[in-house]
Structure 1
């Protein structure tokens, strides 16, 4: 077993290609067609490689629970519910978000290539994961994009000035492609911490950063258990009223405009499903009268990089650069999976009929 000691126990290091093989095999065993299983594995493993363990393979147990609840639908594909030229409404049918969002972005990229711009409203997708993945898909096609997402019917974040959870973690993402260079990718939850990061901390026995959570009485807490054990507290929006306001607009743009749904008394989820709606605007840079857009962007980037640095800071980083560095590191040395998460994944693999020997053969480490 390839492992390293941490302050709270052991993290298992798994080669990314082996982890991908395990995830693909697990979902094929559960009933996914090979292409679906591969797309899910592509997305989850890339999230781990990028350092976003909250949106990576640790989501597998919840996905299976959602499948067992009858919410996640295997082998579904994106369906164009309405084609209005530069505006596409896409129905996800609660299929794997890693599939239906991929297909929705493909449709939007193709239409933006024809018209210069396309707004895509994706509704009723099961968890679409790390939103940066979809912006990167657009950037790989040479497209600028920005994305508003809601986590429909799953309130986790308190409104500014409130105590009760009323809003999802509702991420925002934007990307700018650069020829021959990695794109700029800004991707963040509108909560101070992603809920999945509290799950990772909870599994590891770690605290979360200060001012991220409140307990059910409204008191600040650094303990992730306050949002994972009853009575449950809430996450806080980032930036006070500013993050709260952005989260509210993500809810409206994604949930209402797409024809999906927003979070309120009549839509609260009572099972393990995670339902996302996303409103994406995809734009071809060549549609603008901006012959030197990339040159201007590069000049601005150089200006940022030349800044005097604060004490202890080695480099001024661009949006997306921390993820690139983490991918290089984890690709070379292995992807860490904490013991609790590895046990949960192993239990899930067993639940769909995989043996411990098969798990170990694929992952290169013993089942948890």
Structure 2
């Protein structure tokens, strides 16, 4: 049984828990709005279901409320930033605001962000950039429990390492390609497990390295105390992109890569992100860029529609559709996730409706 909430109601409840957890009202409202926006966009994996983990991370000391991004190095169009373990929704937006300003001034900006707590849906940052007419590229690594097996490997060795590309399209919704390099995001496995669903074959291996369709193998410890692992999308190709994200988002940013034993009880999720921002206006390509991008998207969408689809799909389109639907109909939260959120509220003295 699911509970359904209007977006404003859900934001208020999450905000109350975050304030009780030590955040200023302004910070809590921003983080809550970001989480609810993920739900509205159809990405429940990055939505309010993350609240229990955030509360635990604050209580254990791995997530630090009211911390801002720190400028470490500034050469104009190159920025080195440290998130100081602050909320990723906060330090990520602060970093993007700096990067967007520099790209507008210099035509481009290359920016590294290390030590940010969970950045959430990376597409949010691409949407910030495309709203200002900029192209953006993001490569992210994840320092938490390693949940993805390398190609040819039989246990988890790295994180879901998302990649995101945003491109503004004149007169239409932007192209925002945002995906985990695993076949499915870890958060989507948590949602499937909470809802009691199996997943399609080819997504997972169990703690013995054998194929599985049970999302619980990567959500809760198995009988031997070990976890299973997600598989990379596209076999060696997705795996290669995941490694690139680890090297660019982790090694190049200075935030670090995963190469250590894991304590599964640690709840903090730490991200590093390399961001590249390009202003087509300053590149001198604005007119041709707009014309060719529009022509190509028109060419794609004018083609025949495959059985089972209403239209040819373009990255970013499903999120827009979800937002319209869920703003009107509300956001459904499964019973298990809601009970986890209620329990998180109790830890900090907030009673959510049961």
User: For this structure pair, what is the TM-score category when the shorter chain's length is used for normalisation?
Assistant: over 0.9
The residue correspondences of 1:1-368 to structure 2 (distance < 5 A) are 10-228=1-219, 229-230=221-222, 231-265=226-260, 271-290=266-285, 291-355=287-351, 359=352, 367-368=353-354
Q: Aligned-residue CA RMSD in angstroms?
A: 1.3
Contact 1:309/1:316, CA 8 A, preserved across alignment: yes
Contact 2:146/2:262, CA 8 A, preserved across alignment: no
Q: Give, in whole Å, the separation in 2 of the partners of 1:275 and 1:176.
A: 26
Instruction: Report the Cα offset of residue 312 of structure 1.
Output: 2.1
Deviations 1:218-239 (A, max 9, x none): 1111101111232311000000
What secondary structure is seen at the aligned counterpart in 2 of 1:121? Answer: strand
Instruction: Report the Cα offset of residue 153 of structure 1.
Output: 4.6
Q: Give, in whole Å, the separation in 2 of the partners of 1:71 and 1:148.
A: 22
Deviations 1:229-254 (A, max 9, x none): 32311000000000000000000001
Q: Give, in whole Å, the separation in 1 of the partners of 2:302 and 2:80.
A: 43
Contact 1:153/1:264, CA 8 A, preserved across alignment: no
User: Which runs of 5 or more residues in structure 2 are unaligned?
Assistant: none
What secondary structure is seen at the aligned counterpart in 2 of 1:99? Answer: helix
Instruction: Report the Cα offset of residue 350 of structure 1.
Output: 2.0
Q: Give, in whole Å, the separation in 2 of the partners of 1:279 and 1:213.
A: 28
4+ aligned runs moved over 6 Å, structure 1: 266-269
Alignment TM-score, normalising by the size of structure 1: 0.92
Deviations 1:123-156 (A, max 9, x none): 0000000000110111112211010000025311
Contact 1:154/1:263, CA 8 A, preserved across alignment: no
Q: Give, in whole Å, the separation in 2 of the partners of 1:236 and 1:22.
A: 35
User: Which runs of 5 or more residues in structure 1 are unaligned?
Assistant: 1-9, 360-366
Q: Give, in whole Å, the separation in 1 of the partners of 2:325 and 2:262.
A: 41
Instruction: Report the Cα offset of residue 258 of structure 1.
Output: 0.8
Instruction: Report the Cα offset of residue 289 of structure 1.
Output: 2.7
Q: Give, in whole Å, the separation in 2 of the partners of 1:266 and 1:114.
A: 44
The 10-residue stretch of structure 1 (102-111 or 258-267) with the greater mean CA deviation from structure 2: 258-267
Deviations 1:307-337 (A, max 9, x none): 1122222200111001111111100000010
Alignment TM-score, normalising by the size of structure 2: 0.96
